[in-house]
Chains A and B, each alone.
Chain A
């Protein structure tokens, strides 16, 4: 318990100090991006790691959340922080509908194909619906988030806002898996027929989790566009799904630290690859492949087991002495 508090304290301290060390706005912006993509990857991991199902249309909810909040801010003058809540509500309602239709019957591969198609359709709609989405140029001039008169204009302040939301997301998901709802979902993932035999409704819980994942993805989308102050249909692009996949697979699926670590790795590696826009996603794809083949569980679980083995190795001689 004590060592846990120490561990989390150190990580939190690093996260808080990071923008004070990296003083350029460019680096602070990258830190902000890490938080946004970490929230996005964590939301997808509820479905991938938690439910054990695949969705390849998750990027659409990043876009829907962004537009929901942006449109409400522009047409009704809603303050962006309330817009985040609205994005969550809109995305979870849409997600619940899609989830209910798909998850009533589809699982595994079939669900993956269906959601993939759905994502592609939503991208096309967003790109071609000029009146609403503003076409490929999008809509500019969104307000930045405000709180008690303070405006999150600088990269520095936006990072802390994103970090706060990330911590909230982590806490929410952490508690979720320890609640009755989370346990029901874990049972379903482990063995659906057995879970049904003890009274758990698959459709209800799968839909609920799908909706929650979509809602959180919507929040990350809204957070992203209100800091850029521009929203455009490219947010619906499959590229964001790739970011999710890289963050999840490289970091470690089904863990809390994994997607966050993966998001950090993605943001920095993709910045190093800026020298060639054409090669960037190709090289990222190769990295993803290498990880899937050689480190299928991802960085974080591998680090944990390495640490465990190291700790065992250190302890071993002492233990031997004590045993008769």
Chain B
């Protein structure tokens, strides 16, 4: 851990030209009873990157996301974020550091309106006390106004302005997925982890999603995307890691990964089985 701190300082000293490592995963192992879901996974995500994580069903992608964001404590290994070890912290503490995730099963606040969902996401970026609300102070009203403006801005980015007053559960899956991203964006994250954002989307919606994710990256947010939709992954990511049975089998640019023998074997079956 100490060495990474030094490295970071060196990188900072060199100025903006140096590529900073945002997230570093060192030898993460996760056991569920006798089942090894992840074994000694190493990853490095650079700042401003869209990092793809792929692999067949049950290969441990979502588990890795859960370990990074604190929902599961790792059995062994370290999660280092900007030079600090964050493994084993509670999810809300990790969120406070700017790491925010979405969920594989669409998870929003179903009984709130779209706008309320986004405003709820701004929790970390508000300071208002209860007494401000009780006495309707000017600070409180100013903050309310600011929250609404911010929500409008985020909803505009996701092309959801017209749906702002609709109860979230009344919307279709594609739109719920976008609300999920809107909630995550409202927290103003530095690192955003998306768990299968394109699952259940039709091709048009998936294409829109690609644009949205690119816009998010252009705002300076680092992304890790877990996805099955290869079109989305290949279009978006500058670097991809492939997991199989809990181990990382390869890592590289989209081109490298697509032509890797191991990856083809994992996805299409080995030569022996074909023959």
Task: Tell me whether B184 is interfacial, beta carbon within 8 Å.
Answer: yes
Q: Say yes or no for B111: interface residue by CB 8 A criterion.
A: yes
| Per-residue interface assignment for chain B, residues 124 to 154, with 1 indicating a CB less than 8 Å from any chain A CB and 0 otherwise | 1011111011101000100000000000000
- Report which of A178, A186, A200 forms a contact with B133, defined as CB distance below 8 A: A178
Given known A-B contacts A191-B107, A193-B71, A201 and B92 have beta carbons under 8 A apart: yes
Judge whether A183 and B123 touch: CB under 8 Å.
yes
Interface string of A174-190 (1 = CB under 8 A from B): 01101111111011001
Overall SS of chain A's interface:
helix
CA gap between A181 and B91 in the complex, in Å? 19
Tell me the nearest residue of chain A to B120, going by C-beta.
A187
- What 0/1 readout, one digit per residue, does chain B (93-132) give for beta carbons within 8 Å of chain A? 1011000111100011111100010011101101111101
For residue B69, CB closer than 8 A to chain A, the reply is yes
State whether the Cβ of A172 lies closer than 8 Å to any Cβ in chain B: yes
A199 contacts partner chain B, Cβ-Cβ < 8 Å? yes
Do the beta carbons of B108 and A194 come within 8 Å of each other?
A: yes
Residue A198 is within 8 A (CB to CB) of chain B in the complex? yes
Q: Is the C-beta of B90 less than 8 angstroms from some C-beta in chain A?
A: yes
B134 to chain A, nearest CB (A): 5
Docked-complex contact B100 and A197, CB < 8 angstroms: yes
- Contact indicator B96/A193 (Cβ below 8 Å): no
- In the complex the two chains form, is A198's CB within 8 Å of B109's CB? no
Asked if B92 and A196 make an inter-chain contact with CB atoms under 8 angstroms apart, the answer reads: yes
Distance in angstroms between the alpha carbons of A176 and B140 in the assembled complex? 12
- A180 and B71 form a contact (CB under 8 A): no
Q: Is the CB of B130 within 8 A of A198?
A: no
- Residue contact B109 to A196, C-beta cutoff 8 Å: no
B103-A194 in contact (CB<8A): yes
Q: Which residue of B lies closest to A172 (CB)?
A: B134
Q: Are A179 and B130 in contact (CB under 8 A)?
A: yes
* Smallest CB gap from B69: residue in A: A197
B45 at the interface (CB under 8 A from A): no
| A172 and B134 alpha carbons, distance in the complex (Å) | 7
Bound form: Cα–Cα A198–B92 in Å: 7
Taking the complex as formed, is A202 at the interface, i.e. its CB lies under 8 A from any CB of chain B?
yes
Q: Which of B112, B119, B127 contacts A190 (CB 8 A)?
A: B112
B49 within 8 A of A: no
A198–B95 touching, CB < 8 Å: yes
Q: Beta-carbon contacts of B174-191 to A below 8 Å, as 1s and 0s? A: 000000000110110000
* Contact between A198 and B121, CB atoms less than 8 A apart: yes
Q: How many residues of A contact B (CB 8 A)?
A: 25
**Among the listed B102, B128, B187, which residue makes an inter-chain contact with A179, where contact means beta carbons less than 8 Å apart?**
B128
Tell whether A190 pairs with B109 under 8 Å between CB atoms, given A176-B133, A178-B133: yes
| Distance (whole angstroms) from the CB of A253 to the closest CB of chain B | 13
Tell me the smallest distance from the CB of B191 to a CB of chain A, in Å.
Answer: 12
Contact across chains for A199 and B123 when beta carbons are under 8 A apart? yes
Closest residue on chain A to residue B119 by CB atoms: A183
Which residues of the other chain, A, contact B123 by a CB distance below 8 angstroms? 180, 183-184, 187, 198-200
Which residue of the partner chain, among B116, B124, B127, B130, contacts A199 with CB atoms under 8 Å? Answer: B124
- A26 to B140: give the CA distance in the assembly, Å: 44
What mask results when residues 189 to 222 of chain B are scored 1 for a CB within 8 Å of chain A, else 0? 0000000000000000000000000000000000
Contacts of A198 in B (CB 8 A): 95, 100, 120-121, 123-124, 183-184, 186-187
Complex-state Cα separation, A121 to B261, whole angstroms = 67
Distance in Å from the Cβ of A261 to the closest Cβ of chain B? Answer: 22
> Contact: A196 with B91, CB < 8 Å?
yes
A171 to B130, CA, bound (A): 12
Q: How far is the CA of A261 from the CA of B96 in the complex (A)?
A: 41
Once the chains bind, are B109 and A194 in contact (CB under 8 Å)? yes
Smallest Cβ distance from B127 to chain A, in angstroms?
Answer: 8
Taken together as a complex, chains A and B put the C-alpha atoms of A184 and B126 apart, in Å, by 11
* A194: B residues at CB distance < 8 A: 103, 107-109, 183
Contacts A175-B134, A187-B123, A199-B123 known; A180 to B92 CB distance under 8 Å? no
Quote the shortest CB–CB distance from A294 to chain B (angstroms). 23
Q: A180-B128, A186-B112 are in contact. Are A197 and B133 (CB under 8 A)?
A: no
Who on chain B is nearest to A190 by CB? B109
Question: Across the interface, which residues of A come within 8 angstroms of B71, CB to CB?
Answer: 193, 196
Out of B91, B116, B127, B134, which one reaches A197, CB within 8 Å? B91
Measured CA separation A166–B269 after assembly (Å): 70
CB–CB A193/B107 < 8 A: yes
**Which residues of B have CB within 8 Å of A178?**
133
Q: List 26 A-B contacts (CB under 8 A).
A: A172-B134, A175-B130, A175-B134, A179-B130, A179-B132, A179-B133, A180-B128, A180-B133, A184-B120, A186-B109, A186-B112, A186-B120, A190-B109, A190-B110, A191-B108, A193-B71, A194-B108, A197-B95, A197-B101, A197-B102, A197-B103, A198-B100, A198-B120, A199-B187, A201-B90, A202-B92
Which residue numbers of B lie inside 8 Å of A, CB to CB? 69, 71, 90-93, 95-96, 100-103, 107-112, 116, 119-121, 123-124, 126-130, 132-134, 136, 140, 183-184, 186-187
Sorted nearest first, the 3 A-B pairs with minimum C-beta distance are: A179-B133, A199-B95, A190-B109
Binding site for B on A (CB under 8 A): 171-172, 175-176, 178-184, 186-187, 190-191, 193-202
Q: A178-B133, A186-B120, A199-B123 are in contact. List 15 more A-B contacts (CB 8 A).
A: A176-B130, A176-B134, A179-B140, A180-B123, A187-B109, A190-B110, A191-B107, A193-B71, A193-B107, A194-B109, A196-B71, A197-B91, A197-B101, A198-B124, A199-B96
